[in-house]
Amino acid sequence: MRRTKILATVGPASDDPERLRALIAAGVDAFRLNFSHGSDVEHRATLRHVRTAAHRAGREIAIVGDVQGPKIRIGEIGAGSVRLRPGQDWILDARTEPGDERRVCAQVPTFDGIAHVGDPVLLGDGSVELTIARVRPESLVAKVTAGGVVTSHAGLFLPHAQLRTSVFAAKDRRDAALGIEEGIDYLALSFVREAGDLDETRRWLDARSGGRDVGLIAKIERAEALRSIDGILEKADGIMVARGDLGIEVPLERLALEQKQLVRTANRAGKFVIVATQMLLSMVSSPRPSRAEATDVANAVLDGADAVMLSEESAVGQYPVESVQWLDRIARATESSFDPRPLRDDDRSPLPEDERAVAAAAVRLAEGVRARAIVTPTHSGRTARLVARLRPSCPVVALSNSPATRRRLALVGGVTSLPAPLHRDLVELRTRSAELVRSAGLGVGGPIVLTAGYPIEGRPTNLVTLVGPAPSRSGAAARAAARTTPRPRRAAG
């Protein structure tokens, strides 16, 4: 069983029902819809196709609605693209007509004080660079210092500008409202700077019908967010290391270090983390990844990422299904070498000590008796996340009567979600847990570890118990189980 989850972006190459079913069969756990592209009609159709494909596959597939946020872009270029050459001037202005080799529209809030002479300007993925030469009331004259091809609507980055625009503006709210109507599971918020950005969005979501069932993912793509990451993690359900824009905001030579630190910090906080952008970029046009890309994916797994994401590869590439298959192969081959000890030994987690202790006891017991699975009855998914953050060697099986919870757990590494009603009787819960694990194909004959709340209704997880026979050779493990297993006859999850 692969523990690392796969998040695939849906686009023209993958949005028809047959292709979506093929992607799920190849191993996709969640789909991302990028609201920066496409119309409302297209978005609704895609979201419905995803839900239908997931239902037919019998899978709990999460849907992430990714809103654009305050990203600045240039306007339309008449020929679709233009090649800028070092030394030439290029004017950024407010005129709406298509651009050319002399000028282009810059979709900025205002030109007043936005930049100063000598400030850098980066276009697209940052490979094209300009420097502000003159500042005018309604335009900026920039000189090309590193040339290249620039396409219509490319990103425009002004690293020295202080643009205090809302990260959840009118367009984002319209797109999020559409997503909620169509049943998205997560809203990915772009260009998060601080925890307050998430508070604003959470209030809006909670005011919407069904908003309580929508999780929040903070996309980390600004240098400001790195300084506020602890507060952001406290408010978010998970984070996305969006290396495209983050690689422009921070020095490129530090990008890998920032990725590792973000993954480690999210692991410590018990929040899931997605590593994204250019994971298998060459597979947009090639049926095989490059060696460097395969190594990049493996390193994300070894860092402790819960999920890896495909962008162009699955949205517009020629080989979307093959891209998923390669992610699956690389992750499976790498996971056996993941070392959870640094994470388990890290005592800097902000999580409550009692919750950490119960989760650690469940993992120790499971590995001591070589359990088939750790079963966690859960309503919100918190118990499953607490156990999964310790990266046990066996699967974490979350039992929940909430479809929304089961889908949201599709992005938490190592977790399999199964539908199950609430149980008040501990004996019944133990029996049913063993049956569900067996029906899920996780083996027969060996023990499972059950961790739940006692009594079930509204109580924190405080019980760890062994279900089924322990291997005969594990006398010490059996004695440990006896010490950690309470004797009540009734419990609830």
In a domain, 340, yes or no: no
pLDDT at position 453 is 80
Last residue within a domain, chosen from 104, 129, 157? 157
Sign of CA dihedral 95, 101, 107, 109: negative
Angle at 281 between CA 277 and CA 283, to 5 degrees: 140
Q: Is residue 9 assigned to a domain?
A: yes
Please compute the mean of the pLDDT values over residues 427-435 and round it to a whole number.
Answer: 87
Of 241-245, 436-440, 443-447, which one has max mean pLDDT? 241-245
Residue 101 has pLDDT above 70, yes or no: yes
Task: Say which residues have a Cβ less than 8 Å from residue 309's Cβ, sequence separation at least 6.
Answer: 6, 7, 8, 9, 32, 240, 274, 275, 276, 277, 279
Domain assignment present for 356: yes
Q: Is residue 475 scored above 80 in pLDDT?
A: no
The model's confidence at residue 125, banded by pLDDT at 50, 70 and 90, is confident
Instruction: Give the per-residue pLDDT at 393.
Output: 92
With a cut of 60, say whether residue 50 has pLDDT above it.
yes
Please give the pLDDT value at position 209. Answer: 62
Active-site residue identified among 32, 268, 356, 407? 32
Let me know whether 297 and 194 are in one domain: yes
Catalytic residue among 4, 9, 265, 277: 277
Q: Can 143 be counted among the known catalytic residues?
A: no
How far apart, in whole angstroms, are the C-alpha atoms of residue 296 and residue 209?
40
Question: For the whole model, what pTM was predicted?
Answer: 0.88
Quick one: 60 and 90 in the same domain?
Answer: no
pLDDT over threshold 50, residue 392: yes
Instruction: Give the whole-number percent of the chain exceeding pLDDT 90.
Output: 71
Query: What Cα–Cα distance (Å) separates residue 293 from each residue in 14, 279, 327?
Result: 22, 6, 10
Residue 339 included in any domain: no
- CATH number (domain holding residue 198): 3.20.20.60
Residues 213 and 95 in one domain: no
User: What's the CATH code of the domain at 123?
Assistant: 2.40.33.10
Q: Supply 367's token pair.
A: 């590995």
Query: Is the confidence at residue 477, as pLDDT, over 60?
Result: no
Q: Is residue 492, in this structure, part of any structural domain at all?
A: no
Q: Residue 491 has what pLDDT?
A: 39
Q: Can you give the CATH number for the domain in which 360 is found? A: 3.40.1380.20
- What average pLDDT does this structure show over 277-294? 97
What is the domain range of residue 408? 351-484
For tokens 């999850």, name the residue. 493
151, 283, 326, 379 from 316: Cα distances, Å? 16, 10, 17, 37
Total tally of structural domains belonging to the chain: 3
Does one domain contain both 293 and 433? no
Residues 58 and 186 in one domain: yes
Would you give the distance in Å from CA 361 to the centre of its chain?
Answer: 28
Catalytic (active site) residue 277:
yes
Q: Looking at 2, 44, 73, 329, which residue is catalytic?
A: 73
CA 368 remoteness from chain centre: 31
- Rounded to the nearest integer, the mean pLDDT of the chain is 90
Residues 96, 183, single domain; the answer is no
* 75 part of a folded domain: no
Does the annotation mark 32 as catalytic? yes
Residues 400 and 473 in one domain: yes
Cβ neighbours of residue 191 closer than 8 Å, sequence gap 6 or more: 69, 70, 71, 167, 219, 221, 222, 245
Task: Tell the residue number behind the tokens 């950690």, with chain if given.
Answer: 484
Residue 411 confidence class, pLDDT cut points 50, 70, 90: very high
> How far apart are the C-alpha atoms of 42 and 488, rounded to whole Å?
54
pLDDT level of residue 478 (50, 70, 90 thresholds): very low
Rounded-to-integer distance, Cα 104 and Cα 151, Å: 11
Could you tell me if 367 and 418 lie in one domain? yes
Mean pLDDT of 385-402: 95
Same structural domain, 186 and 148:
no
DSSP structure string for 16-59: SHHHHHHHHHHT--EEEEETTSS-HHHHHHHHHHHHHHHHHHT-
Q: Are residues 215 and 309 in the same domain?
A: yes
Kindly state whether residues 123 and 172 are assigned to the same domain: no
Is 473 noted as a catalytic residue in this protein? no
Are residues 106 and 94 in contact, defined by beta-carbon separation less than 8 angstroms? yes
Of these residues, 219, 243, 364, 385, which one is catalytic?
A: 219
Domain end call among 107, 139, 157: 157
Same domain, 399 and 453: yes
Q: Is residue 470 part of a domain?
A: yes
Domain end (from 126, 157, 188): 157
147: phi then psi, degrees, rounded to nearest 5: -85, 175
pLDDT of residue 127: 86
**Residue 393, both tokens:** 């060697």
Those residues with Cβ within 8 angstroms of residue 446's Cβ, 6 or more apart along the chain or in another chain? 370, 371, 372, 468, 469, 471
Residue 470 pLDDT class (50, 70, 90 cuts): very low
